[in-house]
């Protein structure tokens, strides 16, 4: 499915005005940006702990979520997300290695500063934002130091993630309706 094709584009626009996913529908609200979704959910469910209670920690959490949201384009390009694949010994493109190093720096800093086991102690929106990165690290056999490897395994072991990975493995390899030419 090509986003340039007017028929396909109009079909995608019905799902999301930006022709992007993810997309959340909740009680009449339609939200299609990952940071906007996280902030919306935090507003709707303030007791869910999506942000740390401390304002300094919450600002830090928002900052690393923003960095994940707007950055790491080399990682995204070189290591596309694929929950079904495993590429042992994958040779990571050098610019993506810089993104990996920065992500690991964020993880080590947060885990050290806030005491783990998640980036801000308890699970927050930051962990949700970085979980797809953990899947990429597993898919492409990225070597991590013990602190980062333990954190990545913790993310992948969350019940929601194991459910998602099982469902992804059951999907067909190609879904014609989702194929897009860019």
156 & 134 share domain: yes
Q: What angle do CA 70, 156, 134 make, to 5 degrees?
A: 35
pLDDT tens digits for range 63-115: 999 999 999 999 999 999 999 999 999 999 999 999 999 999 999 999 999 99
75 & 160 share domain: yes
Tell me what pLDDT residue 22 has: 82
Q: Give percent above pLDDT 90 in the chain.
A: 75
Q: Which residue range is the domain that position 21 belongs to?
A: 6-45+174-178
34 & 124 share domain: no
**Contact present, 2 and 180 (Cβ < 8 Å):** yes
Q: Could you tell me if residue 59 is inside a domain?
A: yes
122 & 39 share domain: no
Q: Could you tell me if residue 1 is inside a domain?
A: no
Q: Give percent above pLDDT 70 in the chain.
A: 84
Helix (H) or strand (E) holding 11: helix 6-15
Non-local (6+) Cβ contacts of 76 within 8 A are none
Is it the case that residue 2 has pLDDT exceeding 80?
A: no
- How does the average pLDDT of the chain come out, rounded? 88
pLDDT tens digits for range 133-146: 999 999 999 999 99
| CB-based burial label for 160 (10 Å; 0-12, 13-18, 19+) | exposed
116 & 26 share domain: no
> Mean pLDDT throughout 22-26?
89
Q: Could you tell me if residue 60 is inside a domain?
A: yes
Tell me what pLDDT residue 173 has: 76
Please tell me the pTM assigned to this model.
Answer: 0.83
DSSP string over 61-116: HHHHHHHHHH--HHHHHHS---SS---TT----HHHHHHHHHHHHHHHHHHHHH-S
Non-local (6+) Cβ contacts of 88 within 8 A are 141
């Amino acid at each position: 499915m090509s986003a340039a094709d007017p028929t396909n584009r109009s079909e995608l626009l019905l799902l999301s005005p930006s022709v992007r996913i993810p997309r959340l529908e909740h009680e009449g609200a339609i939200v299609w940006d990952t940071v906007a979704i996280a902030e919306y959910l935090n507003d709707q469910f303030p007791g869910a702990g999506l942000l740390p209670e401390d304002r300094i920690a919450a600002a830090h959490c928002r900052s690393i979520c923003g960095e994940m949201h707007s950055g790491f384009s080399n990682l995204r390009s070189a290591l596309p997300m694929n929950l079904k694949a495993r590429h042992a010994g994958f040779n990571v493109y050098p610019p993506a290695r810089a993104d990996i190093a920065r992500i690991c720096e964020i993880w080590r800093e947060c885990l050290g500063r806030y005491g783990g086991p998640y980036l801000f102690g308890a699970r927050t929106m930051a962990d949700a934002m970085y979980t797809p990165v953990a899947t990429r690290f597993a898919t492409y056999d990225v070597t991590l130091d013990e602190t980062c490897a333990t954190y990545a395994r913790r993310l992948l072991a969350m019940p929601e993630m194991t459910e998602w990975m099982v469902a992804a493995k059951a999907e067909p390899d190609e879904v014609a309706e989702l194929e897009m030419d860019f």
